[in-house]
Amino acid sequence: MATPQVQTINTAADKAKLAAAGGLVLAALAAYFLLSKQGALIQWLVFLLGMAAAVGVFLVSESGKQLVAFGRDAWREVRKVVWPTRKEATQITAYVFGFVLIMAMFLWLTDKTLEWLFYDLILGWKK
């Protein structure tokens, strides 16, 4: 059995990019709280700009490139899926609801039978 390979960040430049992205996230959060007296518009604008910069720095790192590649592959696979028709989806949903209803009735009946068996017959605790 093959062991899964653990991917690590190898280059110092990549580590620096990820550290910069983390620093930008922290700076955006700090700016949001420090600019509370400037008004909500300025707060959110600075926060969103800081987060956009952090995302931009992350996306140019090797981890970011791998994430984008994974997203493209996932989207390509989603496009290959044969989705059920509206009729098929409705039928499957009806089957699920029917099964849940039957199971609920079965569990309720089992519960009431055991309650009657233990409390009324065995212990004699009449209600």
Q: Report the largest interatomic distance among the alpha carbons of the chain, rounded to a whole angstrom.
A: 77
Q: Are 52 and 69 in a shared domain?
A: yes
Rounded to whole angstroms, how far apart are CA atoms 93 and 101? 12
Could you tell me if 20 and 77 lie in one domain? yes
Q: Express each pLDDT in 46-57 by its tens digit.
A: 999 999 999 999
Question: Does the pLDDT value for residue 28 go beyond 90?
Answer: yes
Q: Is residue 70 part of a domain?
A: yes
Q: How far is CA 102 from the centre of its chain?
A: 31
What is the number of domains present in the chain? 2
- Same domain, residue pair 60 and 101: no
The domain boundary, picked from 81, 96, 117, lies at 81
Please give the pLDDT value at position 12.
87
C-beta separation of 17 from 58 below 8 A: yes
What is residue 125's predicted lDDT score, i.e. its pLDDT? 77
Least confident window among 42-51, 91-100, 112-121: 112-121
Residue 34 belongs to a domain: yes
Q: What is the pLDDT of residue 2?
A: 59
* pLDDT tens string 64-98: 999 999 999 999 999 999 999 999 999 999 999 99
* Residue 33, domain member (yes or no): yes
What is the pTM (predicted TM-score) of this model?
0.58
Q: Does 20 share its domain with 70?
A: yes
What is the pLDDT, as a whole number, of residue 3? Answer: 59
Question: Residue 2 domain-assigned?
Answer: no
Query: What pLDDT is stored for residue 11 in this prediction?
Result: 85
**Same domain membership, residue 69 and residue 17:** yes
Looking at the structure, do residues 32 and 55 belong to the same domain, yes or no? yes
- CA distances (Å), origin 108, targets 65, 112, 114: 53, 6, 10
Domain that holds residue 106: 84-127
The reply to whether 44 and 103 lie within a common domain is no
| Domain contains 5 | no
Answer whether residue 30 is part of any domain. yes
Q: Is residue 1 part of a domain?
A: no
Is the pLDDT assigned to residue 117 strictly greater than 70? yes
- pLDDT 10s digits, 2-24: 556 656 657 888 999 999 999 99
